[in-house]
Amino acid sequence: MASSSFSHKRSFSDFQRETPAVSKKVYDAFINHRGPDVKETLAFALYDSLEEKECRTFLDDMELELGDSIPSAIQNAIYSSAVQIAIFSPRYAESSWCLDELVLMLETKARFIPIFCDVKPFELRYLDKGVYAAAFAKHEEKGRFGDDMIGQWKTALHSSSLISGYEFNTSNE
């Protein structure tokens, strides 16, 4: 019976969205990304480059310690970062964690820098078709997330698309 408490996988959105009591900026930058897409490439390279320039940067694999509550640690890092960086990749919207982090990042009103990796900014505005359409159809189909949550994600993506950022194309085209 005790093992059933471990079978329910909680998502980042299961935790309350309360502003943590963070009085000072602990991190210079927070990097939001979908791990399977860009962690081993762009996210690690960006982290290393920022750290080399003595910018204290939060990247989950590099900063989380054993025993940390992942949602709490991420939320605290978001609220205690001076700059928020989101790396949008083709499968980014499949991750409810990424989308929840994005909403929080934009709520902080900190400087926000989008990086568009193999996606174009306009693709974040047209979510009923294009690169993120299948991910949102799946989120809506599962019924795991309410209309309010999905609406917040879509608004955050749309807002992000209107902010000047960097574009990268990793193909040889």
Residue 80 forms part of a structural domain: yes
Q: Residue 51's closest CA among 37, 63, 33?
A: 63
**CA–CA separation, 76 vs 79, rounded Å?**
5
Residue 123 forms part of a structural domain: yes
Question: How many other CB atoms are found less than 10 A from the CB of residue 141?
Answer: 8
Is 80's pLDDT higher than 50? yes
Average pLDDT over residues 122-129: 91
Residue 140 forms part of a structural domain: yes
Flag the least confident range among 36-45, 77-86, 100-109: 36-45
Q: Residue 162's closest CA among 117, 111, 110, 122?
A: 122
Rounded to the nearest integer, the mean pLDDT of the chain is: 86
Residue 124 forms part of a structural domain: yes
Flag the least confident range among 2-6, 48-52, 97-101, 151-155: 2-6
Active site residues: 101
Residue 9 forms part of a structural domain: no
Can you read off the two tokens belonging to residue 12? 């980042």
Residue 13 forms part of a structural domain: no
Can you read off the two tokens belonging to residue 59? 């990247």
Can you read off the two tokens belonging to residue 130? 């294009």
Domain housing 54: 23-167
Can you read off the two tokens belonging to residue 42? 């762009």
Cβ neighbours for 153, distance < 8 A, ≥ 6 positions apart: 93, 99, 100, 102, 103, 136, 139
Is 167's pLDDT higher than 70? yes
Average pLDDT over residues 58-73: 89
**Which residue is associated with the tokens 């999905």?**
150
pLDDT tens digit sequence for 11-44: 555 544 444 545 478 999 999 999 988 888 899 9
- The CATH number linked to 52 is 3.40.50.10140
Among residues of the chain, what percentage have pLDDT more than 70? 86
From residue 47, give the alpha-carbon distance in Å to each of 55, 60, 119: 9, 10, 21
Query: Given pLDDT bands bounded at 50, 70 and 90, which one contains residue 172?
Result: low
Read off the DSSP letter of residue 67: T
Cβ neighbours for 38, distance < 8 A, ≥ 6 positions apart: 87, 89, 117
pLDDT tens digit sequence for 93-103: 999 999 999 99
User: What pLDDT shows up at residue 11?
Assistant: 52
Residue 119 forms part of a structural domain: yes
- Give kind and range of the element (H or E) at residue 77: helix 70-79
Is 85's pLDDT higher than 50? yes
Domain count for the chain: 1
**CA–CA separation, 70 vs 45, rounded Å?**
22
CB 80 within 8 A of CB 19: no
Is 107's pLDDT higher than 60? yes
